[in-house]
Each structure stands twice: as structure tokens, then as C-alpha cells.
Amino acid sequence: MTTNNSKLGSVLIPIANRMGVRMGLVEADEVTKFKSLLYRSLPCIEWMGITDQNGYGVMSVRDKTTRRIFVHRLAWIIANGTIDPSTPFVCHHCDNPLCCNPEHLFLGTHNDNMADMARKGRAAKGDKNGSRLYPERRERGPIHQKKIYDAALCCEQNPKAKLTNDQTREIIRLYQLGHSGQELAERFGCGRSNIYNIVCGCSWRRLPGRTDLSEPKKSRRAIPA
Ligand SMILES: [Zn+2]
């Protein structure tokens, strides 16, 4: 058995998030606690502690930047010392999310993990797919969520609006004549980003008489094909 940290018995575990990968510290007593919560359920070695909503074993650790780890990843590191960054996912051969038997674990890429899930029939397809379960969460063209927008107070009727309809029309007109966002922000006493949001149509879209927007607003979220 190998550990990957000089501090006796503690383990460093890579945690991926949107910002990249950071290393979290699992201290020696936490490793001991992890081992005490395993039991042999042949052929697997299962975790008896808490699980996440998908049934994977998780454990809280004291490391401030990490807080919570997947225990099967910890099992892999205790057995193998490290996780190769080119194959950052620890996947299960046995398809038992509670299993921490290192012999049932393998390293893979995100695509490997997805292909493995699809092969085992666990991918959310058909009526289980998010687009069927939660259709309201997917944007679907210009009339999507129209009822919600219609019910909201728009333009100068919105109590948070800092500008009047007339001021906004003037901002759009002047911007089209070549005045800069900075200049208009100072002149109308609002933020520069507010000016850009107005002229690109991210705000004040339903300003009465507005004609400069021909295309529906583009979603910032990429919609998977
Ligand atoms: Zn297993």
C-alpha cells in the first residue's frame, strides 16, 4: 500500500471543478475513519457511510478547499498512489457505486465514463432524459418562457429600473450614432455594462417601439444537439 504524501498516513486527492484541478488533503485519521467504514460484501468492498444523490459514497474531510470527497477515489489513491491527470475519472467495473475495492476500479476519461454508463444502460435516455423530465429548463426558441416574461414588469414599470423609456430610446439612438458606452454611462448616470446590455438587447428588449433587434436573444448556454 502506498500513500502519496510525506505527512505520515495522509493522502492528497485531486478534486476537479470548473476552475481546474486542485489537490485536497485527507489527513491520516480521516483515512483511518474511511477504512473503518468499509465492509466486505463479496466480490465488492462496500462503503457504509453517507452517499450522494446518485448513490456514490462520500466523506467529509477537514481540508477547507475540499470538504467532501468520493470515497472510491480515495480507495484508488490509497491503493495506487495517484490518479493520472489524462484519465481523471475513477470508474467502476462492477457498476456498484458503493464499491471501494481497488480491483474493481479503473481510470478513464469523461468519454470512457459516459460510454461505460451507456453500455450498462444507465444513461438518461428516452423519457428519463432531462429534456423530457424538465422540459421547462431547456430554452426552445423565441416564445420559450414567454408567459413568465409577460407576467414580469418590464422597462420603466420595473421598480428596479434606473432609466425611463425615453432615456433608453435616446441611449440606443446615440450609441448607433457612434457615441461610446463610457460617454453614455456618464451622461445618463448608470454603469457602462448597463449601456451595453441595453444596446445588445440583453435588457430593455420589450421597450415599446424598439425596432433595432431583429434576432431573438441568443442564449449564453450552449444547447446540446
Ligand atoms: Zn465492486
> Could you list the pLDDT tens digit for every one of the 225 residues in the chain?
444 655 678 888 888 766 677 888 888 899 999 999 998 888 899 999 999 888 899 999 888 777 888 999 999 999 998 888 888 889 898 888 899 999 999 998 888 888 887 887 777 777 777 777 777 776 666 666 555 555 567 788 887 888 999 999 999 999 999 999 999 999 999 999 999 989 888 888 888 888 887 765 555 555 554
Domains of the chain as residue ranges with CATH: 11-124 (3.90.75), 141-200 (1.10.10)
User: What cell was used for 122?
Assistant: 444507465
Output the CA 104–ligand 1 centroid distance in Å: 5
Asked if 127 contacts 53 with a C-beta cutoff of 8 angstroms, the reply is no
**pLDDT reported for residue 182:** 93
Ligand 1 centre to CA of 49 (Å) is: 16
Give the phi and the psi of residue 60 in degrees, each rounded to 5: -85, 140
Q: Which pLDDT does position 174 carry in this prediction? A: 93
Consecutive H or E run containing 165:
helix 165-176
Ligand 1 centroid to 60 CA: how many Å?
A: 22
Question: Do 202 and 217 touch, CB atoms closer than 8 A?
Answer: yes
Give the Å distance between the CA of 107 and the centre of ligand 1. 14
118: left (phi over 0), alpha (psi -120 to 50) or beta: alpha
62 CA to centre of own chain: 23
Q: Which residues touch 192 (CB under 8 Å, ≥6 apart)?
A: 181, 182, 185
In 3-state terms the chain splits into helix, strand, coil percentages (rounded to 5) of 35, 15, 45
| CA–CA dist 160, 55 (Å, integer) | 43
* Cα distance from N-terminal residue to C-terminal residue, the chain: 45
**Residue 98's pLDDT is what?**
92
Distance from Cα 83 to the centre of ligand 1, integer Å: 19
Distance of CA 103 from the midpoint of ligand 1 (Å): 8
- Predicted local distance difference test score (pLDDT) of residue 41: 83
Give me the residues near ligand 1 (ion), CB cutoff below 5 Å: 44, 94, 96, 99, 101, 104
Per-residue model confidence (pLDDT) at position 225: 46
The CA 70 to ligand 1 mean position distance, Å, reads: 15
What confidence score (pLDDT) does residue 40 get? 86
Give the pairing of strands 38-41 and 44-47.
antiparallel
Q: What distance in angstroms lies between residue 186's CA and the mean position of ligand 1's atoms? A: 64
Q: How far is CA 89 from CA 6, 26, 83, 130, 212, in A?
A: 24, 18, 8, 23, 48
pTM for the whole thing?
Answer: 0.54
CA of 125 to the centre of ligand 1 (A): 25
